[in-house]
Structure 1
Amino acid sequence: MKQVIVARADVGMGEGKLAAQVAHASLTAYEHATEQAKREWKQGGQKKVVVKGSSERELHELQEAAKAQGLPTGLVRDAGHTQLEPGTVTALAIGPAGDDAVDRITADLPLY
């Protein structure tokens, strides 16, 4: 079981902003997971991998692919209080779900 968080590399987030957006995405996707997936993921150490996304469009396409496979997702739009314009899509989490299921969608993305 794992979760992959795709963070946009094209919007120029600082390190702290990036960390916050990844955390928001992770929690949102977790909240959409089944109770069984939540339990298995927690028991397995809550594995997370952060990868780079190149655009808002890419995050939307990945989310659609994940949803088509029945995987939980969490897409984050920034509130715009600090570095980014309100509504900027910053991150997408996929999972927790089986490694193979998540990898089918995210395996080609570079690590952050």
Structure 2
Amino acid sequence: MSNLNSNIPAYFSIAFVALATGFYLGQTIPQLSGQEENKPLHPKKGNKNVATSTDHVTDKEAFNSEEEEESEEESDYEIESLALNDIPGEVRMALVIRTDLKMEKGKVAAQCAHAALGCFRLIATDPSKKSYNPLLTNRWLHGGQAKITLKCQNKEMMDELYAKALSLDVNAVVIHDAGRTQIAAGSATVLGIGPAPKSVLDQITGDLKLY
């Protein structure tokens, strides 16, 4: 019993130290945890498995670069084509491709898409445009949106076809390449003509061969 009484001060000392230590840790650990949560991540340089802000910028720049490669310029001279509404028959769009540029198939497909959309924008999307013609647009849309791809030998021939289309009140669009792949900047690649009644379109492109 005397041994137990003699050890009581020691027990009190141990308990006091334990309580003090627990209190200190309870105050310190949450602060450290908060600092870790709010601390920005700074991965070490050279760690290839960690994406950094620089990596994100690089990805974005690469995306913009690819996007810019597909951007083209187009001539959009507006022609009033309302007189074509009285001409019966199938309504078509012609896509005339220059063969002297020797474009690859994927390039040709992209340029034709630009030309088709350019023609559609001229006659179908903006009522304030002189070229706006919803009746002709509906005839083309409801008739299957017919498109025909044709060949022309060079820019001079393409210019003649463009001028002839405008003289017959047919809207046309010339696509000029941005020059980031395959061919020189500003090259006229595809001529989009129409939509227009087939009988009128044949007056412009009737002598051309299928692409």
Q: What is the TM-score with the length of structure 2 in the denominator?
A: 0.52
Give the one of 108, 116, 120 matched to 1:18.
Answer: 108
Aligned to 2:178: 79
Paired amino acid for 1:30: F
The ranges of structure 1 where at least 4 consecutive aligned residues each deviate by more than 6 angstroms after the TM superposition are none
Aligned to 1:89: 188
The CA RMSD measured in Å over matched residues stands at 0.8
Q: Secondary structure at the match of 1:94?
A: strand
In structure 2, the gaps of 5 or more residues are: 1-90, 124-132
Aligned to 2:51: none
Aligned to 2:161: 62
Alignment of 1:36-55 (within 5 A): 36-55=135-154
Q: Is the Cα–Cα contact under 8 Å of residues 73 and 92 in structure 1 kept in the other structure?
A: yes
Q: Distance in 1 between matches of 2:140 and 2:173?
A: 16
Structure with greater strand percent: 1
Paired amino acid for 1:32: L
In structure 1, the gaps of 5 or more residues are: none
CA-CA distance at 1:27 after TM superposition: 1.1
% same residue? 37
Which one scores higher on RCO, CA 8 angstroms, separation ≥ 6?
1
Q: Distance in 2 between matches of 1:31 and 1:100?
A: 23
Q: Distance in 2 between matches of 1:35 and 1:59?
A: 27
Q: Is the Cα–Cα contact under 8 Å of residues 30 and 72 in structure 1 kept in the other structure?
A: no
Aligned to 1:35: 134
Give the one of 92, 108, 113 matched to 1:2.
Answer: 92
Paired amino acid for 2:161: L
Q: Distance in 2 between matches of 1:35 and 1:25?
A: 19
Q: Secondary structure at the match of 2:119?
A: helix
Aligned to 2:210: 111
Q: Distance in 1 between matches of 2:164 and 2:140?
A: 21
Paired amino acid for 1:8: R
Paired amino acid for 1:15: K
Paired amino acid for 2:168: Q
Q: Secondary structure at the match of 1:5?
A: strand
Q: Distance in 2 between matches of 1:32 and 1:58?
A: 23
